[in-house]
Structure 1
């Protein structure tokens, strides 16, 4: 019987390790640890009650260009709802927040910050396509804030620094990849348990091409961001049924041998 249980365990491990990636809405998403690098464009909140928002494009996942993960596509995102809770000359803290990732193919593979439509055009291009992932803020401190930026010139129109935050999958907002990212893989002290995503970003200069066109503010920052997450396979119903059926056969044999 011990051999049978060892066989069942081995079969489970084999099934778990068989897939190293999963195709979601046409995008080949790696399973396990994920590190994504992005370009970010955002407004500049100046005081308590102001809201941070913006958009961007994902350039690579695990050092692989997005173009190698899907054919003729782009991955873009929009974010908003981060409300300034406190601000000083060196630090600003935000509460709330949301972020949505989109996969664009064909005509929806169109994101550029150089179009004539200004920020409205940028936002439209960053939010078209298939909704891939929806996230919401996860607390990083006892006050329930979700995002913290530190640096110099904070509270002015030309800050420079770094920011960090945590997020959870927002299952109520939709997203074809939500289930795969909903793994609680990021340790967190606050917010009722582990988070699903860790964010980090840098912001260094005003966007010189059109400094007044970011939504929700009088100036626009550009920078880079990184996203750390853990993805896990979600067995298809047919696969799950086969695994459960096989386990049932093994347990039935084991019971018969015990009689």
Structure 2
């Protein structure tokens, strides 16, 4: 099977390429560095020539309103090039609960991407994952100073990037879902508690202050970022992962 991984040089994409190749598939990254421009469409037709599956892991360079244009243009270009190339399966990596947070521009943009895929010409699969363990340092940095980190008590169910990779590979090498596969970590945490666990594991003396107005996730209420009963739960626990990482 020939699979083209859009964004195949990034954190998730490079691991997806490696895992597919190790399983005996033909897997090729497509990114600006390989001559593929999703916005202009340059290089797409050549990259998708002979492909059975396209895995779309491309991310917007911004999280603001401009992300809507990025996902609209890139998805439309990818669907058109895929149809022309005879691609049989288009896969997108998205976010658990993405359609429940319209107040976040980036989440509205990812919802638009899903909708375009769903109504496109090619059988499709959507893999919705929860927040990655690896992004916690960035989340901590958004609302921190030398003494404190302010975080809301938003409930999240994070998972390891390696487990996201495994889910993407499993779905991409199967028959199109024509729907959504939700994947999540095994544990739910309030974000402020996860911040305290992270700082303790890193021997960081800063204090976490619960502030339900702090950072991007302050806009999220309830359990929309946690997985429902239909989700596949990944095996890696955050406490195990963070202690191995440090």
Query: Is the pair's TM-score, using the shorter chain for normalization, greater than 0.5?
Result: no
User: Normalised by the size of structure 1, how large is the TM-score?
Assistant: 0.22
Q: If you compute each CA radius of gyration, which structure gives the higher value, 1 or 2? A: 1
Query: Normalised by the size of structure 2, how large is the TM-score?
Result: 0.23
Report which of the two has the higher share of helix. 2
